[in-house]
Amino acid sequence: MTLKTIAFDPAEFLDTPEMIAEYLASAFEANDPAIIADAIGVAARAHGMSRLARDANLSRQALYRALSPNGKPELPTLVKVLAALGVRLTPVPIEKAT
């Protein structure tokens, strides 16, 4: 018997700034730029790329380019995107293993 699966898209569950913040916080804990970039891209899709571009005062093309797998967004772009998503970067101390 074949196991039937369905695709999981986390963007379907990111419907509030609080959910987006939690999702991004877990990605930032990985301290891996690829994971962080992917999570921001997922949050952007959840928000809607056209709406996000408008809210962040960026063109859609610039937004897609910045959030692409090969994109390297600059800090001002990230700050605008995160603010449009309803979150902000907040530094926290790294917990050291004992």
3 state SS of 43: helix
Architecture of the domain made up of 33-88: Orthogonal Bundle (1.10)
C-alpha distances out from residue 75 to 43, 70, 72, Å: 17, 16, 9
The residue with tokens 């959030």 is 67
What are the tokens at 35?
């994971």
In terms of pTM, does the model score above 0.75? Answer: yes
The whole-angstrom separation of Cα 19 and Cα 94 is 22
Mean pLDDT of 67-85: 90
Mean pLDDT of 67-80: 88
Report domain extents, the chain: 33-88
Distance, C-alpha 21 to centroid of its chain: 9
Of the candidate ranges 22-26, 30-34, 94-98, the one whose mean pLDDT is the lowest = 94-98
Query: Given this model, what pLDDT does residue 95 score?
Result: 80
